[in-house]
Amino acid sequence: MSPLEGIGAALMLTGSALSLLAAIGLHRFPDVFARMHAATKPATLGTVLLLAGAAVVVDDGNVSTTLALVAALQFVTAPVGAHMVGRAAYRAGSELSPLTSVDELASAEDTVASSGPPDDDRRDGRDGRDGPNRG
């Protein structure tokens, strides 16, 4: 085994372990927000480590470039997607775990709701919020 193969194997093994921890976190965490964290942080790093290990082992430059592009897109899209899922879940009224001690979005959501749009001429009676009042 060459040193590059050893480095690639170590990167892939570490990436696999992080992906396994992400899967365990998805199963064990109590609410959608904790699960969202488990689905993005270790899974993204695990995927990138797997791709880096594959790029080290593969001798083809085109394949390495493709793997680097996939890793970059994973870093960009996973956090944005998780943020959108979290915001939608919060606005839909998903229950926070009893273990949650601080709800930082409650004050931000109330501030946005109280300011309202500049020309609020809604005729449907809604107050501009997409979810239940958490105040």
* Per-residue pLDDT tens digits for 55-112: 999 988 899 999 999 999 988 898 888 888 888 888 888 787 777 777 777 777 655 5
Give the relative orientation of helices 61-91 and 32-57 as an angle to the nearest 10 degrees. Answer: 180
Q: What angle do CA 39, 43, 18 make, to 5 degrees?
A: 120
Main-chain phi, psi angles of 100, to 5 degrees: -75, 125
Global pTM value: 0.68
Nearest Cα residue to 111 out of 82, 80, 84, 134: 134
Q: What angle do CA 132, 133, 135 make, to 5 degrees?
A: 150
